[in-house]
Amino acid sequence: MKNFRIFFPIVTLFMLYTFNSCSDSFDDKDIKSNPNAVTDVDVKTLLSGTILGVAFVHEDTDVRIASMWAGELTGLSRAHLGFGQYIVSSQTFNWNNLYPIGNQARLIQIKADVLGDKWTKGVGQVLEALVITKATSLYGDVPYSQAFDRDKFPTPIFDKQIDVYNALQITLDKAIVNLSEPSGLAFGANDFIYQGNVNKWKALANTLKARLYLHTKNYPQAIASANFGIQNSAADGLIPHGTSQGQNTNQNYDFFRVSRAGDTGFENSFLKTLMQSRINSFNSKTNETALYNHYIKVGITAPNNLDPNTADGAFTADAPHPIITFYENQLIAAESQARLGNLDDALTALNKVRATLATGYLNGKTFSTINRKYDAYVLEDFNFSGLANPTNLPTEQKALLYEIISQRYIIFLMQYEAFNDYRRLASALPVVQLPINLATGTVKPQRFIYPQQEINTNPNVPKPIPTQFSEVSIFPKL
């Protein structure tokens, strides 16, 4: 971690140029006169590169591994065959993107303070929280309190996971205060997520707070944050993409169709099983065939293969990719209300999701009207023999929770939050879990492994080194 601050600004700006083809990002006089003087990069250019970095870590190999370990995707060949069977080592993972991007987010805040720019500082705080949320939810205890001061803390301590979660809530609270300021410096041209709309950044911050509260089982606070979170799909935090290969295409498209075609698919995945069971059920209010076809297309890489739909569905080259969305916000509220026994409120939140799915909207794209149906539920649908209780769960509460977590699972395809749910639900009361099949063996994967580079250079890495089957404290097994 100790060399990241020196080199990453150049890497980030290079990524900005390579993937977005934004040659005007290099018009800054300091960059032109001295490309190694990275501390002279202006805050707006730094913001663009950091947002790009945050986008990158929401579409990377880590996310694919998380999707496989959640049973959504199947590893079929080469390295991903092993990843899908939980065969990983400390060499598999690295923090070469996570912590440098977090460092850049912290640098944005420092530069914004010099300018007295509360809005840009608030966005920097949200970006920092997004990066560290991914790190701690996947790895457990991680550096945070000492992570971004290389000179003072060259080998930062690993903070306890709950302490990281609490600190992230404070970071996001500060971000919301800054984003609530009546005025600030405009940065729309440097923000490809929200085009400088601070209210949308503030809503995203609240939804991220709600996610963190859901992880820690603080359901009243999760509901309170969701009430100020993303309230409609127009405010979704989406990564835009284009069709210029090697510049701005969706990373899933590049992996599934270009660089590693056939290495993964949906054969034997629980996602396929779950969606097919919902399609073939007696639930007259739901037809998820259109969404299934949006995700899965047969025969792209080989006859009869169940491939990610890179042709005309969710994973085309120009498909936007979600960071955090309206659907997640409402499903956090729905699950939290259901766990507190407020079933009417839970149903209201779930039906908001269904009403939007009924329009065919998902992550900036629209899936087919053919065989697409999401009628509103009523509580009676979750009775013991109700149409929305396919597994005959004994109470309306458990049946409603099963529907909510099923919808979360389906919507979270290719988002690492699906793996968080996979672990979280084992101890969330009342316990309701999806019967996700293991790819191999009898033990569920529980975490990512600390990178070898960190083990070699930081004596504060927890000992003994956890394995992929060691639980993290936020998601204990009962």
- H helices of 140-233, where? 161-179, 198-215, 219-226
- Is residue 404 domain-resident? yes
**Where residue 6 falls among pLDDT bands split at 50, 70, 90?**
very low
- Is residue 135 domain-resident? no
- Is residue 359 domain-resident? yes
Preceding peptide of 430 cis, ω within 30°: yes
CA–CA dist 81, 262 (Å, integer): 11
- pLDDT tens digits for range 361-396: 999 999 999 999 999 999 999 999 999 999 999 999
CA–CA dist 52, 277 (Å, integer): 38
- CATH number where 357 lies: 1.25.40.900
CA–CA dist 243, 248 (Å, integer): 7
- Is residue 63 domain-resident? no
CA–CA dist 246, 171 (Å, integer): 35
pLDDT for 37: 38
Domain of residue 302: give its range. Answer: 230-445
- Is residue 473 domain-resident? no
The DSSP secondary-structure symbol of 142 reads B
pLDDT at 31 over 80: no
- Is residue 456 domain-resident? no
How many structural domains is the chain composed of?
A: 1
What percentage of the chain has pLDDT greater than the value 90? 90
- Is residue 126 domain-resident? no
- Is residue 291 domain-resident? yes
**Where residue 39 falls among pLDDT bands split at 50, 70, 90?**
low
